[in-house]
Chains A and B, each alone.
Chain A
Amino acid sequence: KQEVTQIPAALSVPEGENLVLNCSFTDSAIYNLQWFRQDPGKGLTSLLLIQSSQREQTSGRLNASLDKSSGRSTLYIAASQPGDSATYLCAVSSGDSNYQLIWGAGTKLIIKP
């Protein structure tokens, strides 16, 4: 059974710093991995999607990497801003039910001005 873990559960850093959020999964047979952000009281916003054949994806200040063999993904945020404060979730699509996203519990990120 696929399990997704995100470390740390919470992170607080000063504005301007570069930071890395971690996501690990137990079954390397995934179809893809997605990173989302969730703002309080709002839905989820898709940030990056990495297909199983890809190693990384970039969007603006965000870079997500994928290492299937080790069951890990990282989300790198460059030059963090207060507006980046949110909960970041990773989810994998894998196994027999390839459309079911299996979710991590999220990392709550606070960027201090």
Chain B
Amino acid sequence: GAGVSQSPSNKVTEKGKDVELRCDPISGHTALYWYRQSLGQGLEFLIYFQGNSAPDKSGLPSDRFSAERTGGSVSTLTIQRTQQEDSAVYLCASSFVGITEAFFGQGTRLTVV
């Protein structure tokens, strides 16, 4: 596609429910990143995928968070048993390789009530 696409754009969920966030990167980009931006805070790295290599999951805040990338393209970030502190904007980015220019999607605003 023309840009990085994320869905849904907004998600309100009840505490304890599971949510899935989707990212469709720019076609041909081998690197894909997930970041989280809490209100008034900077961006927090979550996870990185590069081609067929094992992902870097070092930024995932707890074992309730997981992500996968199918076929080297679309990625899904799953948050299980959501908590109120999970409320944030979740941003996805992609690039050709790990250290070139990164392009971001519009983000998914998650609100846990």
Contact = CB atoms under 8 A, between A and B. Distances in A.
Interface of A: 31-32, 34, 36, 41-46, 49, 89, 91, 93, 97-101, 103-106
Contacts, number: 58
B13 interface: no
B98 A99 contact: yes
B56 interface: yes
Among the interface residues A31, A34, A44, A98, which one has the most CB atoms of the partner chain B within 10 A? Answer: A44
Contacts of B109: 41
Interface stretch (B14-22, B42-50, B67-75): B42-50
Interface string B28-48: 000101010000011101001
Nearest to B45: A100
Contacts of A46: 101-104
Interface of B: 4, 6, 31, 33, 35, 41-43, 45, 48, 50, 56, 58-59, 91, 93, 98-107, 109
Nearest to A97: B56
B104 A105 contact: no
Contacts of A36: 104
A93 B48 CA distance: 13
A49 to B, nearest CB: 5
Given A36-B104, A44-B91, A98 B42 contact: no
Nearest to A48: B101
Nearest to A106: B42
B102 to A, nearest CB: 7
Contact of B43 (A31, A45, A99, A101): A101
Nearest to B91: A43
A25 B84 CA distance: 32
A43 B4 CA distance: 10
A83 B79 CA distance: 36
B106 A43 contact: yes
